[in-house]
Amino acid sequence: MKMIRLFAAAIALALAAATAALPQPAAAYSYAAAGKEPMLDGREAILSAVQKGDWDSVGQSVTGLQGEIAYLDENEAKGIKAEFDKAVTDKSADQMSAALNRAFVAEIERRLNGAKDNLKDYQTAKVLVVKAKLFFDAFSGDLDPAKRKTADAGLNQALEAIGNPGIFGAGSKPANPEAFQAAEDSILTALRG
């Protein structure tokens, strides 16, 4: 009986050691929380101030986004800074909405291009596609329903195209660069059209 207890204790100790050596599951992780996105928060502040007719607050909010706007103006959406400035100067809700939507399309394109460049790194590609989806969701209500549906389907196709590493390799699916490019083209055509 003593041998059985020692044997059971040894097995329990071995199982505990093996379990401790295995990677532990992380707490729930939200891709939305993977870094701040000032343009998302800024859009809400700007639109709220525009709705109230508080153009001083609109100007302050736009000024708070100058780093992001300058980056987009230099790298993704030439002339976007002038569009924001003109909307504030003219106190035009329509111009501001158009500038924000153009900025968001540029942010989506930037994230999709980053994902395309990182298709071999599943986690990075997925975070970038999910961030593109966050930008899309923030302004998709401003889109024509058919364009919204096309872009949304394209974002889902882009998520599929990045593949999946599976669990310990089981169920893995390689990235499909051609499918990703087709999805990106579909998304951007819908958003720009």
Q: What is the pLDDT of residues 32-70, one digit of tens each?
A: 345 789 999 999 999 999 999 999 999 999 999 999 999
Pick from 167, 170, 185, 177: nearest CA to 118 = 177
Provide the 3-class DSSP secondary structure of residue 23: coil
Residue ranges per domain, the chain? 34-192
Give the rounded percent of residues in the chain with a pLDDT score beyond 90: 76
Task: Kindly give the residue spans of alpha helices, DSSP state H, lying in the chain.
Answer: 2-21, 38-52, 55-64, 66-75, 80-90, 93-117, 122-139, 145-161, 177-192
**56-109: per-residue pLDDT in tens?**
999 999 999 999 999 999 999 999 999 999 999 999 999 999 999 999 999 999
pTM above 0.85, yes or no: no
- Looking at residue 16, its pLDDT comes to 44
Angle between the N-to-C axes of helices 66-75 and 93-117, in degrees from 0 to 180, rounded to the nearest 10: 60
For residue 135, give the nearest of 32, 34, 66, 46 by alpha carbon. 32
At 192, list the tokens: 């720009």
Cα 42 from Cα 65, distance rounded (Å): 7
Q: What is the pLDDT of residue 34?
A: 52
**End-to-end CA, the chain:** 79
